[in-house]
Amino acid sequence: MIKRVYSCGCYGMRPFLIHGEVDLRNGLPDFDVLGCAGSYEKEAAERVRIALKNGNYSFPKGHITVNLAPADMPKSCAAIDLALAVAIYAHMYNLPQEVLERFVLVGELSLDGRIKSCRSAISMVDYCLRETDKEILIPAGNAGETELMRNRRVHYGATLSEVLHCIVDGVEAEPAAQKIRWTEEEDAPDYGDIYGNAEAKTAMMVAAAGRHHTLLIGSPGCGKTMAAERLPSIMPPMSRQEMFETTGIYSAAGKLGEDKGWISTRPVVKVSSNTTKAALTGGGRIPVPGAASLAHNGILFVDEATMIPGECLDTLREPLEQGTIHLLRQNTRVVFPANLLCVLAANPCKCGKLLDDPGKCTCTSGERRTYLNRLSGPLLDRIDLHVKMTTQPPEKMRGQSGMTSQEMRQRVMMACRIQQERFGVEGRYNAQMTPSEVNSYCALDRETCALYDRAVEKYGFSNRAYFRMLRVARTLADLDGDETVGRNHILGALSYRGICSDG
């Protein structure tokens, strides 16, 4: 007789229901698993057998055959341990099939019967609540990330005995003293620590307000990393939807940690010169998110960008433009969210002195071109703000520091409120406007339009850059509290592309 159980898997960020069939027959002891590649077959047999025996439950001596559907979907099979153990228990103790039909069972078993926390629990719970009418039973260690979604259909179990007690006797298994826990918010450094480079601080305020990608280029030690590290201190707080999305990504990557709650602060992910394509975009047999997806709803800081291979950096072109990453694995397309704010930092040349004192630069013209050409044209075309930073003279280091993070954040929040009223939804920014929205919300008067058209034609900007600069101008207007985009806003947007004249 066949016992049917249900579990849940997650391929990339896409949860799916797993239909398990367990058949028990007389014969030589064996344990076959169909529909699950890898070494899981031998591992599952031992984990489930020893976990049941250590719980003082009987384990059959015959031939066990397990079929997991859909067979063509790659599965992280360890999380199916709990469902298989319950199905074997049902065989041995004549548990009615109707009881098994009620539950979706997710969890990896330890040899002593404890249930280990699993990845993507928040996504799987959300999927089961939306797409099925079944109750879902997950490890108690995942209670923190699912606490805010919890309802009467979600149950928790710390051990196999607790789960069987819940299924057989209807006694709900609860995690011990579980409370809602948020990620701890660390005090971000303040922009008041940066002396001089007022233009760079203004650019970071524009980036935070409109979600505009930024390139900081300047001499070593001029403050590029300081400017990027202080960006979280002026970013708007995360919405509930953003917290849910970000927590789901970190859970899928296995970086959330047991008993951790939702991520409530914007993530900051830093990559350096030793990064790889897979580290940026994600990958693996069962694909996991990379750095770009871990920075979803937060900041991706690419330090020493010119030291990273060009083909690696160019993998960022898709997330910078579309906010997603597409991977093709085993004839299956995996989509990871990557709606991020990217900040790149780079020196102007190999010796780093070009902007401070060109006369002291020891690089040849060919070396300069080779150095900066590591940042491809298509990538730079997606960067809205190109910001030059220079080493400040000693007298400025002793003077007033200029705007603090609190002052900058106030202006950013005002601009975010304007954008929320404009788009009618929280968490949407000017950088995400469609071309039709740009034409609607960034209308120019005749004189300003003529100025902008001349600059675009003179400097050969692409159609993409045409709309991106208008989005920056819209953000500058929002920071000033202006309803319309004016001449000064257009000139400001052009200056961030290296065009400083009035045209």
Is the separation of the CB atoms in 201 and 408 below 8 Å?
yes
Residue 185, pLDDT > 70, answer no
- Is the pLDDT at 138 greater than 60? The verdict is yes
Residue pair 82/90 in contact (Cβ under 8 Å)? The answer is no
Owner of token pair 């049941």: 52
Token representation of residue 243: 């917290």
Query: Is residue 42 very low, low, confident or very high in pLDDT (cuts 50, 70, 90)?
Result: low
Q: Is the model's pLDDT at 110 over the cut of 50?
A: yes
In the chain the domains, ranked by start, together with CATH numbers, are 2-169 (3.30.230.10), 191-407 (3.40.50.300), 433-503 (1.10.8)
pLDDT category of residue 40 using cuts at 50, 70 and 90:
low
> What is the average pLDDT across 301-317?
92
Q: Are 480 and 456 in contact (CB under 8 A)?
A: no
Tell which residue, 119, 116, 99, 98, has the closest CA to residue 107: 116
Mean of pLDDT values over 351-363: 88
Task: Report the pLDDT value the prediction gives residue 180, as an integer from 0 to 100.
Answer: 44
Higher pLDDT: 122 or 172? It is: 122
- Give the dihedral sign, CA 124/129/133/138: positive
Rounded CA gap, 99 and 153, in Å?
14
Cβ neighbors of 486 (< 8 A, separation 6 or more) are 445, 448, 477
What is the C-alpha to C-alpha distance for residues 193 and 260, in angstroms, rounded to an integer? 32
Q: What is the pLDDT of residues 424-465, one digit of tens each?
A: 988 899 999 999 999 999 999 999 999 999 999 999 999 999
Burial of 469 (0-12, 13-18, 19+ CB in 10 A): buried
How confident is the model over 381-420, as pLDDT tens digits?
999 999 999 888 887 777 667 789 999 999 999 999 999 9
Q: What's the pLDDT at 503?
A: 35
DSSP sequence for 340-363? -EEEEEE-SSSSS-TTT-GGG---
Mean pLDDT of 283-288: 81
Residue 116 has pLDDT above 80, yes or no: yes
**Span 475-486, mean pLDDT?**
96
User: Over the Cα atoms of the chain, what is R_g?
Assistant: 28
**Integer Cα distance of 375 and 90 in angstroms:** 60
pLDDT of residue 398: 73
Q: What proportions of the chain, in percent to the nearest 5, are helix, strand and coil? A: 45, 20, 40
Q: Tell me whether strands 214-218 and 385-389 are parallel, antiparallel or unpaired.
A: parallel
Using N-to-C axis directions, what is the helix angle for 463-480 and 405-423, rounded to 10°? 110
- Residues ≥6 apart with Cβ < 8 Å to 393: 196
Ramachandran bin of 373, using left for φ above 0, alpha for ψ from -120 to 50, beta for the remaining angles = alpha
Packed helices 160-169 and 81-93: angle between N→C axes, nearest 10 degrees: 50
For the cut 80, the answer to whether the pLDDT of residue 177 exceeds it is: no
pLDDT for 39 equals 61
Beta bridge partners of 109: 115
Say whether pLDDT at 178 is over 60.
no
Which tops the pLDDT comparison, 238 or 173? 238
Please state, in angstroms and rounded to a whole number, the distance separating the CA atoms of residues 416 and 479: 9
Q: Which one, of 196, 220, 227, 496, lies nearest residue 346 by Cα?
A: 220
Local confidence band at 272 (pLDDT 50, 70, 90 cut-offs): confident
Query: Does the structure show a pLDDT above 80 at 135?
Result: yes
Q: What are the residue ranges of helices labelled H in 231-364?
A: 240-252, 277-281, 291-294, 310-313, 317-322
What whole-number distance in Å separates Cα of residue 327 and Cα of residue 330? 10
CA distance 431 to 472: 7
Tell me, what's the pLDDT at 427? Answer: 86
Residue 181 confidence (pLDDT): 46
Looking at the predicted structure, is the pLDDT value of residue 198 above 50?
A: yes
pTM: 0.89
